[in-house]
Structure 1
Amino acid sequence: MTGAVIGGGTVTSERAIATARALAPEIARGASARDAEKALPFDQVDALSSAGLFALTVPAEYGGPGLPVSTVATVTATIAAADASVSQIPQSHYTFLDAARREGSDVLRQWIFERVLGGARVANAQTEIGGRTTRDDSTALRRSRGGLVLSGTKYYCTGAVFADILAVRAVGPDGRAVIAYIPADAQGVSIGTDWDALGQRTTSSGTVILDDVEVDPDLVLDFTGLLDRPSTYGARAQLLHAAIDTGIARGAVDTIAGLAGRARPWFEAGVDRAADDPLLIAQAGDLELAVRSAEALLVVAGDRIHHAETIPGPETVSGPEAIAEASLATAAVKVAAGRAARRAGSELFDFGGTRTAAGSATLSRYWRDARTHTLHDPERWKLHHLGRWALGRVRPPSHGTL
């Protein structure tokens, strides 16, 4: 556990965002080298912890700032512009704190929030391979020797090697899906660093093996129950993924001025600098528009989620409508941000010419990060839900796709 309680005054959204902006330049300085060498960002993650950024969503009643998810999204996008891998590591941390807040027992909430305020980090261990869909689990929480034990193998466990607590999705003794919160160093837990992808190379999204790990029954929540009720749980998780893509897009576009300033102009342009080529200027403007659109939609979605969470409640007439609007707004930014990230990561090469393709330049990391991260869940289904709403006012599901 590395970190510190946020101190030195009231923690506001403005302060959290300013902290992220202050940390971003140092995180960015080593991003290319870490990507090239697959060097895990332990120091950078520790810096986020020490600054208190992992504690932003701890509820006020448990001593935390209780900041809205819109603030977390801005913080995430800010860090993603510097290094998309570093920004993804806290995503499941915030998501599974939200699950504990919504569905956890009093014991679980007290246990986890106290630790997070002290600097603890949470990582997921949820996805498996071999099931019919990514929601199918063979990992089981079962009764044994008078207690509960957990066994199974999980893949794509982003940030697990940096974590103090693992949130493990499993099939419970009654057949319902559960999330079990366990210490990452518990006996029977093995955390691998076998993640080998073309992008997001330093998230350490490796394999976690669980071999009869003892589980405290008070630290287990009913995941089926959480997902059965309409809520903003899934929208919050998706918003942070969209924030990562928005940050990747912004980071890529922010490189093009330097690239065009050093590149030779195309002879037909009749200018002295590539940056004065009117066709490149138009292309840069179109890219900037795409990124600004994603950034604006990120704000809108965060506001819609906050509204849905602060009206009287989902049991009221306005509740389901607000939840649906939050999901639609999140779907919109998810698509826009993914498109902007992939496009900006690809087109930035146009501004620097052939030299930008050199491996030593590592400029490909923006596209590789975007292409890898946007595989997380299909944008086509976001468009499907938006289309059904546009044509028939069909509300989207509020499931917890993470």
Structure 2
Amino acid sequence: MLTHDQAVTTAHRLAAELEPGAIQRDRDGATVIPHDALSAVDSSGLLGITIPAADGGPGLGPRTLAEVTRILAAADPAIAQVPQGHFLMIDILAVHGSPPVRKALFADVLAGKRIGNGLAERGGKHAQDLRTRITDGVLNGVKYYTTGALTSAWIAVSALNETGRLVLAFVPRSAPGVTVGTDWDVIGQRATISGTATFRDVPVSSVIDYASAYEVPQQLGARAQLVHTAIEAGIAGAALRDARAYLRSTARPSSEAIRAGHDSATADPHVRHRYGRLASRVRAAEALLASAAATLEEIGLGPASPAEAARGSLTVAAAKAFASEIAVEAGSELFTLCGTSSAAATWDLDRHWRNARTHSIHDPIDYKYAHIAAYDLSDVPPPNHGQI
């Protein structure tokens, strides 16, 4: 079984394999399914790192998950996002899955099979205004933002049952009636191919009462948001890394800098100021991520008190909001640092901003700040759902 250090070493090795193809995958978008990159993820052994030891896994926690995700996101944040829903499903199964369901699905995951998600929908008042239904054991519905579903072995699909209660069905990707499309047309995170999944008269047998997961104080949402935080921190770090490389190897000093006696871009005091400021903020985002992961590690995945649940959720909320802002800032600031030539399409440096901008609006950071303030100022606990 992998230890924390072994998982991090594996993530670095996988990142080195993924990074050279990141630009081409960004350019290809949904026109080319990144089978090779995803096969490398699936065969890495990292998919099962959070499976509890009691279920045959290594039982590694948020600290490992956050660092592994950040490392992979710095190489290719779209590929790093593909198993985000997978890790949420591992947590849900660990807490709420029946022994037979856990045994079957965890065995598949440990064998390198991934779980995709079918949670969000279009056409309603919001993404969780569900029209998907399970009636008499048969699933019907249409999902969007189905990250990982296209190439997964299983798809976790949220639906309402006959009584209107929220449930979660685990459906084989290859089941008759399951169709996953490539209609993913966005400016960033393009290789996730999170398009439309359609379920037509699909029999289901593995169903969890999903509503109960959020009826008690829990850390499921915080742990899911931690992965999103790690993706943002990874994007920010990648933008800083590429800015540094460009400044050291390619950037020319501006004419203003030359007139002021600075013969290289890296000697320009204004470039140094901006770079130093940005580097400090990226490192702060990484530190907040590590702190949030450590907090969730302390609290654990099982039942939490209301105070502990609030502490975990709000710690992650602060880290996620800040990392989102810094990732967008870094993706833009690198052009100010590197100059006009860095905007040439050949470098594809704009992918950092596009990836950050696309991913950062996964859920509104303004609400995260509002919940932090409400708790600190008025003792109002954050809502008990998965978006904080």
| Superposition TM-score tier, normalisation by shorter sequence | over 0.9
| TM-score for the superposition, normalised by structure 1 | 0.93
Counterpart in the other structure of 2:234: 247
Counterpart in the other structure of 2:262: 271
Q: How many angstroms does 1:267 deviate by?
A: 2.6
The reply to whether residue 68 of structure 1 matches residue 56 of structure 2 is no
* SS class of match (1:162): coil
* SS class of match (1:124): strand
Is the Cα contact below 8 Å between 2:285 and 2:326 reproduced in 1? yes
* SS class of match (1:193): coil
Distance of 1:221 and 1:17 partners within structure 2? 32
Counting aligned pairs with the same residue, the percent is: 42
Q: How many angstroms does 1:310 deviate by?
A: 7.0
The reply to whether residue 359 of structure 1 matches residue 348 of structure 2 is no
Unmatched 5+ residue regions in structure 1?
Answer: 1-9
Letter of the 1:159 counterpart: G
Counterpart in the other structure of 2:201: 212
Distance of 2:311 and 2:297 partners within structure 1? 11
Distance of 1:189 and 1:110 partners within structure 2? 24
Counterpart in the other structure of 2:76: 83
Counterpart in the other structure of 2:271: 280
Counterpart in the other structure of 2:187: 198
| TM-score for the superposition, normalised by structure 2 | 0.96
The reply to whether residue 37 of structure 1 matches residue 37 of structure 2 is no
Is the Cα contact below 8 Å between 2:73 and 2:231 reproduced in 1? yes
Match of 2:166 among 170, 173, 177: 177
The reply to whether residue 340 of structure 1 matches residue 329 of structure 2 is no
Is the Cα contact below 8 Å between 1:233 and 1:398 reproduced in 2? no
Q: How many angstroms does 1:401 deviate by?
A: 2.6
Deviations 1:254-309 (A, max 9, x none): 11122212211123322111011111111011111111111111111111111111
Distance of 1:102 and 1:133 partners within structure 2? 27
Counterpart in the other structure of 1:57: 50
Q: How many angstroms does 1:207 deviate by?
A: 0.5
* RMSD value, Cα: 1.3
Counterpart in the other structure of 2:111: 118
Change (3 A) 1:139 1:99: same
Change (3 A) 1:36 1:331: same
Deviations 1:215-246 (A, max 9, x none): 01xx1001111111110010000000010000
Counterpart in the other structure of 1:149: 138
Distance of 1:385 and 1:274 partners within structure 2? 42
Distance of 2:341 and 2:17 partners within structure 1? 25
Unmatched 5+ residue regions in structure 2?
Answer: none
Q: Which contiguous aligned blocks of 4+ residues in structure 1 show a shift greater than 3 angstroms?
A: none
Distance of 1:280 and 1:398 partners within structure 2? 44
The reply to whether residue 236 of structure 1 matches residue 236 of structure 2 is no
* SS class of match (2:358): helix
Distance of 1:149 and 1:351 partners within structure 2? 56
Counterpart in the other structure of 2:294: 303
Is the Cα contact below 8 Å between 1:305 and 1:323 reproduced in 2? no
Is the Cα contact below 8 Å between 1:139 and 1:151 reproduced in 2? yes
Is the Cα contact below 8 Å between 2:8 and 2:68 reproduced in 1? yes
Is the Cα contact below 8 Å between 1:246 and 1:291 reproduced in 2? yes
* SS class of match (1:197): coil
